[in-house]
Structure 1
Amino acid sequence: MNIGEFQEALFAKGREAGFTEMEIYYANGRSVSVSVLKGEIDEYKNAQTGGLSFRGLIGGKMGYSSTERLDQESIDYLLEEARSNAEVLENEEPEELFAGSERYHSLNTYSPSLIGTAPDQLIEAALSMERIALDADPRIDMVRRSATSVSESDVLIVNTKGLNCHRKHSSASASIYVLAKESKDAKETVTGGWFDFSLRSFDDIDVEAVALTGVREAVSKLGANPVPSDNYPVIFRNDAATSLLSSFASVFSAESVDKGFSRLKGKLGEQVAGRNISIIDDPLMESAPTSKAFDAEGSATARHELVKDGRLLTFLHNRKTARKAGAANTANAAKGGYKGMVEVSHHNLYIAPGTDSFDEIIRDTDRGILIVELQGLHAGTNATSGSFSLAAIGYLIERGEIVRPVNQITVSGNFFELLNGIETVGNDPRFIGSCTSPSLKVGSLSVSGA
């Protein structure tokens, strides 16, 4: 039974059982992935995951259920389970199904041929990246992981009030992770890696560039030492800046604000960052991997400026938080899978790029630290207070040039203060996930080292 047939049969039988309103949330994903090690296939996976959640109003109460199977037995189970828990669940506030938005943007996020990429092509690409990396530099001691994958996903939200939202998404990726030593007998080892993707065709990925970039990332860290503890101008390369922004992205959620988990509470309309900082959530970007035309509640998505020229304009809302705050819904409802509860999250959150290139930012720095990797982000950040203290890897800059790698340092500060202390915003955002930042130069941060 396909999803369309299942939904029709479920709603028909649900009406017979006394359900007055019903909704399904269906999510399905398929992926083919390959990883190689020492010239051999280390792992090959052809996986399919997903299922369906159901909610229905019966006797004036909303009940819930879910299943992984689409068959007649599952229909009976879903209705009985939803009816049973509707009788015992105490809802904090009445729930109502959403009839849908007036208009939805059209996004091209699906390439039907991508999942059909030949397994042999994925295997050969992974083996090729491993060979290229090992041949590129004698200091590469081992390729710990060389991997390729293709995937597609399907999301459908349908209810009896007229909502009918469907999207499909596909992507391909290639990644490598290597270990480097100065010599075979050396005790010091460093790691590095790289990743790239395409939303259209695996052929679009330059696997040689992925391998060589991963090699450069690793060998450039050899011979690293700490720097003296001090306050330094700090440049967060785009990937490190993205990691930092991602760790604090929840402060823009109305859910976090309402619970007192964001220092931005009560600051709408106020200046919360430097005038060179604008922060945007744009789910309609064609080239970003997490773009979508509707959220987890079926609301049409749109571009929203959260911070413009340093001024806080809005928080991210779903229907519930918008209603509670008396604000406009930004269509940022999210679910952690088909069985997940509806929460609030960003789609494509990013700091708007500036005009300076990465190389220009380095050239304009007389002495400072370039950070390319932040570690311990889960334990070392506090989204409520904004404080962070993170182990970091990077490079020392002197007279506008990178002079040597740096390790065993800790960078500390406060995210909210950092937003006001950014001197330069780079022009180099790299959209590979749901959160993105260009490179950022901060005037002064505490760096603990030797």
Structure 2
Amino acid sequence: MNIQQFQEALFTKGREIGYTDMEIYYVNGRSTSVKVLKGEIDQYTIVENGGLSFRGVINGKMGYASTEKLKPDVIDFLLEEARSNADILENEEQDELFEGSESYPEQPVYIAELVDTAPEILIEAAMEMERTALAADPRVVMARHCSVSIRENEVLIANTKGLHCHHRKSQATAYIYVIATQHGETVTGGWHDYSLRSVEEIDIEDVARKAVQEAVSRLGASTIQSDNYPVIFRRDAAAQLLAAYTTVFSAESVDKGFSRMAGKLGQLVASRHVTLIDDPLMKNVPAGSTFDAEGSATRRNEIIKDGELRTYFHNRKTARKAGVQSTANASKGSYNGKIGVSYHNLYLAPGSSTLEEMIGKTDRGLMIVELQGLHAGTNTASGNFSLACLGYWIEQGQVVRAVNQITVSGNFFDVLQQIEEVGNDLRFTGSCTSPSFKLASLSISGS
């Protein structure tokens, strides 16, 4: 029974027993992954997961139910379960079904051939990536993780008020994480890339070589003296820091008093170099979407423009409470999760400087490339952070050596204000990305 047949049967039976309005939220994901180790297939896995949540109005009350299976005998269960809990659930605000937006952006082209990629292609790509990495530098002794995978995701939101939003998207990913040794020292480094069209489009050899470069460049690392230094957050570390604090832009957090961005609309909350954008309609990015978890048509939103806070992330409920229009940022953690607020494709807009230019203008300072302990070392309410990190010491405009055993401390809201230069090296690899950026001073604890 496919999802369209299930939906029709469910709504038909629901009307028969007295439901006045009904809605389904359906998610199905499937992934195929090949992992190789020492020239042999280490794992070949196929995973499928997902499910369907149902909500409906009966006797003037909203009830909820969910299932992982799409079978005819589940229909009666969903309707009865929702009717039963409708009598006992008490909501502060009655949920409403959404009729849908007036129009929707055009859906990205779904590449069925990508999902149907032959296993042999995945295996050979993974093998080639491992061979390239091991041959690239004699100090690389092992590829701890080397995999190529394909995943597909389907989402359908439909209700009896006319809403019908459906999309399917797929992605191929190559990832390698290598171990390098020298003089008794062991370091690691990794790299990954993706394609929304084909596995063959990923430059497997380039992924391998960049992983090797990440690893071997960390050999010979040592700490530095504790002090305040000019700091460059390379794009990967910059994205890590930004992702840790995205909830401060959520209207839910603002409404609950958990964000220092409350009451700051129209004010400067960052340096003039900072423009923060959520653009789910950008082409060829992993986190694109034409509708949110409520079925609202998505659009490009500037959260911060030239340092000025323009809006928060809103779903329909938070927008209604604030008296504004939804930014179409409704989200669900899973098919049966509650509606929340989150970003789609969030990024710091790139500047004009290259990373090399930012390094070249640094007399003595640090470039941070990896942050560790983000869950324990960050406080979204205060903005304070204290994080172990890895990086490179810069002297007279040149990277001198790798640095470890250090901790970077500061405050995210101060970081936004103190960004003095933004790089042009933005690379979309996930749902939250950033180019490199530079701060005049930040506290580093070392020796």
Deviating 4+ runs (over 3 angstroms)? none
- Give a deviation string over 1:158-181, Cα, whole Å, max 9, x none: 000000000111100000001111
- Does residue 7 (structure 1) correspond to residue 15 (structure 2)? The answer is no
Query: Which position in structure 2 is the counterpart of 1:364?
Result: 361
Asked if structure 2 preserves the Cα contact closer than 8 Å seen for 1:109 and 1:199, the reply is: no
**In structure 1, what residue type is equivalent to 2:414?**
E
Asked if structure 2 preserves the Cα contact closer than 8 Å seen for 1:107 and 1:284, the reply is: no
Matches within 5 A, 1:215-234: 215-234=212-231
- Give a deviation string over 1:90-131, Cα, whole Å, max 9, x none: 111111100000010113152111011110111111111111
> 1:177 & 1:212 partners in 2: Cα distance?
11
Query: Which position in structure 2 is the counterpart of 1:408?
Result: 405
Query: Which position in structure 2 is the counterpart of 1:95?
Result: 95
Q: Which range moved further: 317-326 or 37-46?
A: 37-46
- Give a deviation string over 1:213-265, Cα, whole Å, max 9, x none: 00000000001000111100000000000000000011000011111111111
Query: Which position in structure 1 is the counterpart of 2:429?
Result: 432
Query: Which position in structure 1 is the counterpart of 2:299?
Result: 302
- Give a deviation string over 1:390-440, Cα, whole Å, max 9, x none: 101010001110011100010111010111111110011111111111000
Query: Which position in structure 1 is the counterpart of 2:381?
Result: 384
CA offset at residue 211 of structure 1?
0.6
CA offset at residue 70 of structure 1?
1.2
- Does residue 158 (structure 1) correspond to residue 158 (structure 2)? The answer is yes
> 1:109 & 1:94 partners in 2: Cα distance?
37
Query: Which position in structure 1 is the counterpart of 2:79?
Result: 79
Query: Which position in structure 2 is the counterpart of 1:318?
Result: 315
Q: Secondary structure at the match of 1:203?
A: helix
> 2:138 & 2:313 partners in 1: Cα distance?
49
- Give a deviation string over 1:59-80, Cα, whole Å, max 9, x none: 1110011111111111111101
With structure 1 as the length reference, what TM-score do the two structures score? 0.98
Report the identity percentage: 64
Matches within 5 A, 1:50-199: 50-108=50-108, 110-183=110-183, 186=184, 188-199=185-196
Matches within 5 A, 1:335-354: 335-354=332-351
Pairwise CA RMSD of aligned residues?
Answer: 0.8
Q: Secondary structure at the match of 2:391?
A: strand
Q: Which range moved further: 299-308 or 125-134?
A: 125-134
Query: Which position in structure 2 is the counterpart of 1:265?
Result: 262
**In structure 2, what residue type is equivalent to 1:53?**
S
Query: Which position in structure 2 is the counterpart of 1:276?
Result: 273
> 1:107 & 1:54 partners in 2: Cα distance?
25
With structure 2 as the length reference, what TM-score do the two structures score? 0.99
**In structure 1, what residue type is equivalent to 2:119?**
P
Count, aligned residues? 447
Asked if structure 2 preserves the Cα contact closer than 8 Å seen for 1:109 and 1:170, the reply is: no
Asked if structure 2 preserves the Cα contact closer than 8 Å seen for 1:107 and 1:286, the reply is: no
- Does residue 42 (structure 1) correspond to residue 42 (structure 2)? The answer is yes
> 1:126 & 1:219 partners in 2: Cα distance?
21
> 1:125 & 1:273 partners in 2: Cα distance?
43
- Does residue 202 (structure 1) correspond to residue 199 (structure 2)? The answer is yes
Q: Which runs of 5+ in 1 are unaligned?
A: none
Q: Secondary structure at the match of 1:336?
A: coil
> 2:160 & 2:16 partners in 1: Cα distance?
14
**In structure 1, what residue type is equivalent to 2:204?**
V
> 1:47 & 1:6 partners in 2: Cα distance?
22
> 2:304 & 2:294 partners in 1: Cα distance?
24
